Structures are given as structure tokens and as C-alpha cells.
């Protein structure tokens, strides 16, 4: 039984490694991804939520700090680096 599980695990691992081509993106998708990275490098991002219902009121907050912001990396450099790295994934029609 252990050999069977090990064999299945190896098979799944190999299939995962040979999954096929990378997904190509449009230039608009790449630009949106890189703009989001730039925004994350500009400062903390977050969400506040408030709700009321029959069981009472609730509030929540989520605050995210990107590593580029924490190390003080220039947001414009983050954007340019992202665009140059993602350039190969753009679907050139």
C-alpha cells in the first residue's frame, strides 16, 4: 500500500512539473498587474468593513504591507521591473 501511495505521489508530482505552456497575457493585463504592484509599494493597502444584521453589528479591517514598501523601494522602479519581467508573457498578436 505504501508503494502504491508513493507511486501515485511521484506521478502527480511529475504531471505537475510538466503542466504545459505558460499562460500568455494581454498588455492590459500585464499593465494592471504591474500597477497593482506599484500601488502596493507606495504604502499599506487595506479594507474596512462594517455590517449590521439581526445578530448585531460587526466591523473588520485588513491591512497589507508589501515587502517593497517595507524596504523602501521606489514604486516607479517596482513598476518598471515588473513590466520588463512580464514582457515575455504578453500575447503578441
| 75: containing domain | 22-89
Our count of domains for the chain comes to 1
Question: What are the pLDDT digits (tens) for 21-78?
Answer: 567 888 899 999 999 999 999 999 888 899 998 889 999 999 999 999 999 999 999 9
pTM of the predicted protein model: 0.61
Position 6 in a domain: no
Indicate if the pLDDT at residue 16 is higher than 90.
no
What is each CA distance from 73 to 54, 70, 84, in whole angstroms?
46, 8, 17
Position 67 in a domain: yes
Amino acid at each position: 500500500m505504501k508503494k502504491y501511495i508513493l507511486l501515485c505521489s511521484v506521478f502527480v508530482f511529475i504531471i505537475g512539473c510538466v503542466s504545459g505552456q505558460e499562460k500568455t497575457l494581454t498588455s492590459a493585463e500585464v499593465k494592471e498587474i504591474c500597477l497593482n504592484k506599484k500601488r502596493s509599494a507606495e504604502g499599506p493597502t487595506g479594507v474596512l468593513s462594517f455590517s449590521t444584521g439581526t445578530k448585531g453589528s460587526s466591523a473588520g479591517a485588513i491591512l497589507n504591507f508589501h515587502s517593497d514598501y517595507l524596504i523602501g523601494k521606489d514604486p516607479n522602479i517596482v513598476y518598471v521591473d515588473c513590466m520588463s519581467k512580464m514582457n515575455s508573457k504578453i500575447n503578441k498578436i
